[in-house]
Amino acid sequence: CQSLASKPCLQTIHREINFSVIGQYVDYLVEVQGVKNIFVNGTTGEGLSLSISERCQVAEEWVTKGRNKLDQIVIHVGALSLKESQELAQHAAKIGADGIAVIAPFFLKPWNKDNLINFLKEVAAAAPALPFYYYHIPALTGVKIRAEELLDGIQDKIPTFQGLKFSDTDLLDFGQCVDQNHQRQFAFLFGVDEQLLSALVMGATGAVGSTYNYLGRKTNQMLEAFERKDFSSALNHQFCIQRFINFVVKLGFGVSQTKAIMTLVSGIPMGPPRLPLQKASREFTDNAKAKLKSLDVLSFTDLKDGNLEAC
């Protein structure tokens, strides 16, 4: 059975972390969106814009507030420095996280599979009791090593390797990851929300995405339709999600805009992003609100104008 994981936004006040709303955020994801798995300190969570101390604090707060409410809490511990990544991995194990994930270092890059695996192996070894996931996002890291190539024999080098968060549009690469590893119990977690149905057909075992913060319920309906082999309904749900994503992409869509939409829909103040990102414009938020209402994918009965001001 496929499941969703949200990449929660970073909550800030004057660009300092607002820890006080994380408990409310957990309840919102579980009770309103039906999302019970989270991926902390990833792209949407601005993890790489935080200090190591801040990343540890955020991770600990999510684990504490999510205890007995969330099913899986995976902490992204990737960093440019191997030492920092190992420190974050050890901390994730100490606080009781359910797994760790790592992106490829993206300044001084590994240029071949062996170099990348050597880096990942050292991070995984710092938390030997935790499942380890590779976070494949070549558009942001610039590391173009194909995931299919990386997975070949990876458990021989990293015994705790559990799976892959695949955030790329290359469905050939993703399909071959699944096809060539079907005898292994790997988790294939797809990270391109607007293409999820295609990935499910290819064998994705779950999904991790930013839109599940506010479109989790709609995406769960797609998963349920897919599970019961109602492919026509599943496709209709995917097309509905695509209409919204296509609309906001044309307006300019990224982390800042995700935070604005999440504030709008949930009523939880996400605050501004960390520099160099700038907060979303009021025009963007107004347009996104109108589009969501026209698609009828959300209930706006609790939406107040104050939510817009909080953006």
Q: Is 165 a catalytic residue?
A: yes
Residue 57: how many CB atoms within 10 A of its CB? 15
- Residue 77 labelled as part of a binding site: no
Which is it for the CA torsion 242, 275, 80, 84, positive or negative? negative
Residue 163: name the closest of 137, 186, 183 by CA: 186
Give the active site residue among 28, 134, 135, 214.
135
3-state secondary structure of 230: coil
Phi and psi, residue 299, nearest 5°:
-95, 125
DSSP3 helix / strand / coil % (the chain, rounded to 5): 50, 15, 35
Q: What is the rounded distance in angstroms from the CA atom of residue 248 to the CA atom of residue 265?
A: 15
Catalytic residue among 7, 165, 218, 289: 165
Task: List all residues 6 or more positions away from 221 whose beta carbon is below 8 Å from its beta carbon.
Answer: 233, 237
* Cis preceding-peptide flag for 276 (omega within 30 of 0): yes
135 catalytically annotated: yes
- DSSP line for 265-290: HH-----PPPTTS-PPPHHHHHHHHH
> Are residues 47 and 76 in contact, defined by beta-carbon separation less than 8 angstroms?
yes
Q: Which two tokens stand for residue 236?
A: 């209709």
74 appears as a binding residue in the annotation: no
CB-based burial label for 185 (10 Å; 0-12, 13-18, 19+): exposed
Extract the annotated binding site for pyruvate.
Answer: 44, 208
Question: Which residue ranges make up the annotated binding site?
Answer: 44, 208
Positions marked active-site: 135, 165
